[in-house]
Amino acid sequence: MAKEEKITLEAEVTEALPDARFRVKLPNNQEIMAYVSGKMRKFFIRILPGDKVTVEISPYDMTKGRITFRQ
């Protein structure tokens, strides 16, 4: 059985939470929890509320995501 591909969307950070987690707002006005990917954490890329980011979401759990890029 093949693994499902991740859904990639543009989003806006609305709130910074503890433990490098963020609440992000998707284009369809849905809010999800997102965490910072390993490469972004490794290179100390800062994310603040109001930043535009790229989020990967698993098709199995649409309430959580991973931030992979800050614009």
Q: Where along the chain do its domains lie?
A: 7-70
Element containing residue 42 per DSSP (H, E): helix 38-42
CA-based R_g, the chain, Å: 12
Alpha-carbon span 57 to 33, nearest angstrom: 10
Question: Among 3.10.129.10, 3.40.109.10, 3.40.50.300, 2.40.50.140, what is the CATH number of 7-70?
Answer: 2.40.50.140
pLDDT at 4: 86
pLDDT range class, residue 3, cuts 50, 70, 90: confident
Q: What is the pTM of this model?
A: 0.92
Question: Per residue in 25-44, pLDDT tens?
Answer: 999 999 999 999 999 999 99
